Amino acid sequence: MDKSHLKRKVGWILCIAALTVLFSGVSAYALFGSKITKYTADQVTIDSKGKVQHKGKIYVTPDKIRVDGMSPGGAGDIVMIFRKDKNIGWTLNPQRKIYMERPLNEKEMEQAINKFIDSKNERVLGTENVNGFKCTKKEVETTVSVMGFKRTVKNIVWISKKLDMPVRTKSQNGSITELKNLKKGTPPGKYFEIPKGYKKVSNMMELMGMSGPGGKFSKTARGNKKSTSQVPFNLPKEINGLFGK
């Protein structure tokens, strides 16, 4: 295996492992918590130099949530819809008009993620007001181990007692994601449905264009050595199982 291929492999493993934690964290905090309110907010990501990387929306009700975010590696947008009322989670790729579906099972999600988390430590740094919310500021250190690769990541999060998800998160590379312009009220139901014309795929690899139907790698994925978005290797079954059937 050449160095460039190894670098891409490690990068995608870490991106998908981080995305796994994100997906489960959103569903666990927002769907199964007891403090959910009905609201819409802007979700903004800013890099370490102050440049806006992404602007999206988040929509929340007591039994539904939608997050418009970035795909692994920041290549395009991705939409996550969690429906507790139907016990279903959908992940959409708007650029390709495709989506995948998986059942919502908090216990199974936690078990799958715990297979890759070696350790997780939290340290309270104090309190701070962020966008109108009084927050507890914490440093969270997480060590993730996937397919023989291990990485420890430190994030700083700002948590409000009024919301069941962070108001602000700062990664160790200096980028910040935060909720702004929060407006109370029930979001329109259309935001929690799959748009017409979307085609269903079976797993995360297909959703991101990394494989063909059925999870098999396409000729492009196997043959294009210059591509950084195609990754010809198999992910652990726990990750694939978390994101698709």
Residue-level pLDDT at 20: 47
Q: Domain limits at 120?
A: 3-243
Give the mean pLDDT of 79-102.
Answer: 92
Q: Assign residue 191 the CATH number of its domain.
A: 2.50.20.10
Higher pLDDT, 108 or 191: 191
Question: Mean pLDDT over residues 168-195, rounded?
Answer: 93
**Measuring CA to CA, how many Å separate 183 from each of 6, 40, 157, 161, 224?**
45, 5, 21, 17, 46
- pLDDT confidence of residue 150: 82
pTM for the whole structure: 0.72
Output the six-digit token pair for 6.
């190894």
Helix (H, G, I), strand (E, B) or coil at 112: helix
Distance CA 193, CA 228 (A): 31
Q: Which positions ≥6 away from 99 have C-beta within 8 Å?
A: 90, 91, 92, 93, 194, 198, 199, 200, 201, 207
Distance CA 73, CA 233 (A): 17
Q: How would you classify residue 214: left for phi > 0, otherwise alpha for psi between -120 and 50, otherwise beta? A: left
**What is residue 222's predicted lDDT score, i.e. its pLDDT?**
43
Pairing between β-strand 199-200 and β-strand 98-103 as defined by DSSP bridges: parallel
pLDDT in tens, 5-56: 555 555 555 554 455 444 434 433 444 444 657 999 999 999 999 999 888 9
The residue among 75 and 81 whose pLDDT is bigger is 81
Indicate the range of 101-105, 171-175, 188-192 predicted with least confidence.
101-105
Q: From the centroid of its chain, how far is CA 46? A: 16
pLDDT of residue 25: 41
Query: What is the number of domains present in the chain?
Result: 1
Q: State the pLDDT confidence band at 83, using cuts at 50, 70 and 90.
A: very high
